[in-house]
Chain A
Amino acid sequence: EVQLVESGGGLVQPGGSLRLSCAASGFTFSSYSMNWVRQAPGKGLEWVSYITGSSDAIYYADSVKGRFTISRDNARNSLYLQMNSLRDEDTAVYYCARDVADCSGGTCYEIRFDYWGQGTLVTVSS
Chain B
Amino acid sequence: EIVLTQSPGTLSLSPGERATLSCRASQSVSSSYLVWYQQKPGQTPRLLIYGASSRATGIPDRFSGSGSGTDFTLTISRLEPEDFAVYYCQQYGGSPRYTFGQGTKLEIK
The chain A residues found within 8 Å of chain B, CB to CB, are 35, 37, 44-47, 50, 59, 61-62, 95, 97, 109-114, 116-119
Contact = CB atoms under 8 A, between A and B. Distances in A.
Interface size grouping (class) on chain B: 20 to 34
Contacts, number: 62
Contacts of B32: 109-111
Interface in B5-27: none
Contact of B88 (A44, A59, A97, A114): A44
Given A45-B88, A59-B97, A62-B96, A113 B102 contact: no
Interface of B: 32-33, 35, 37, 39, 44-47, 50-51, 54, 56, 88, 90, 92, 96-103
Contacts of B97: 47, 50, 59
The prevalent SS among residues of A at the interface is strand
A59 B50 CA distance: 22
